[in-house]
Amino acid sequence: MKLSTRRTVRQWFLDSPRGTAYALYAASLGLIALGTVADADIVGVTGILAGVGLFYVRDQIKFDACSNCKTSVNAMSSRFCATCGHRLDDLEAAPPIDERVDERFRPVGLEHLERTPARDQAPAPVADGGESDESEGDR
């Protein structure tokens, strides 16, 4: 399956309501049951092919290419490339990356780079126009 097709189908699954895939699995089981009850083999075979096809498509759309080293990464659960450690923020059709990502998805040895504040940046202004470093007792 081409990468652009995978991204399109993945985006469709991400945009669809929760449980859509399970509803499609239930529909394929319904076709199998209907084919069995009605003694129509082609309907049962269609249900089997629909279920297997859905399983294959859902398995294939999880994988994408790292924008840095072009290796295969699981876009649905990996937040960093296992090969080069590149952060996968810019991956198309992937769930948004939350800053509170579990530690098991972070590469080893880069924690100090993410957790240290930038030293050359000025403190961010507060909504009332003051600085965030001002003490409360100066009013």
Contact 56, 28 (CB under 8 A): no
pTM: 0.56
Position of tokens 């945009």? 15
Torsion of CA 107, 109, 111, 116, to 10 degrees: -140
Strand partners, 80: 87
Contact 54, 28 (CB under 8 A): yes
Position of tokens 């699995």? 25
pLDDT in tens, 57-91: 888 888 888 878 888 888 777 778 888 888 877 67
pLDDT for residue 129 is more than 90: no
